[in-house]
Structure 1
Amino acid sequence: MKHTTNYTNTFIEVAEDCPVSQAETPSEKKIKTLAQLQYEQVIKKPYRYTSDDIVFECHAIKNDIPENEKQQARIQFFSKGQPCLRASPLAKRYGFGFHHNEEGKVAAVPVESKEYQKFLDDDSIKKVKAMRSKKI
């Protein structure tokens, strides 16, 4: 059975306990963090990738999976459930929501932007919150 992290026509809001009111760029580290990797994929190429593409590519980079092994590694990776972008540090800590369009392609949306509010106000789009960082 193949699992997926993809959504369609859905907006992932920032987590309730997100510490910022304006989106922040993840700080540069010598070894790239998950937040940096996701930021590079979603900010530089909005609506180009699905959630599955982003989640797997970050996994592949972090684990140095060679290009010629990626297809088989992706099948193996999605043979069990994986955390979706609701668990992304961008939505939990850095102040970005995620819009998934009709094709399931993803764009990051800064929490303070007019576009973010537009998605919140659009009744035709399903809304889900990012996961909280702390338990209540």
Structure 2
Amino acid sequence: MAKRSAAPSTPTGQAGDDAFALKNLLSAPRTPETAGTVANALITEKLWVAVGRTDAGPGIAEARTAEGDRLVEVYSHPLEVIALGRGNDPAPIAPAGLANVLRTNPELSGVVVNPGGPWIRLSREELAPLLALATQD
């Protein structure tokens, strides 16, 4: 059976961040405000994660630092996932869904946005506005 990925019909399609707001923020010169601006944008922009297959079933891709920190990989557009060529499928995730992933997995240190570059790493502290969206079970 052939593996299939969901991708928009055009490079900017209806699927992703058509205004490239996150990409523009990440491409701009970095200032002390950049992390906070990107964290706030994660609340309003369309977000994507990379989903891979494991022996345990599908899972959201993570990055791991040399220090052992685990980060959820978040993307501004489904083509960002596909461009990495790792065989993962892009899947949309609502900001509240991302907040819930972080809330229910305290071992995750934060996120890395657009790991293919330009990228930014955001800690849980920097993600406070996003984490406020998490629902309590």
Normalising to structure 1: TM-score of the pair? 0.33
Q: Which has the bigger relative contact order, CA under 8 A and spacing at least 6?
A: 1
**Greater fraction of residues in strand:** 2
**Greater fraction of residues in helix:** 1
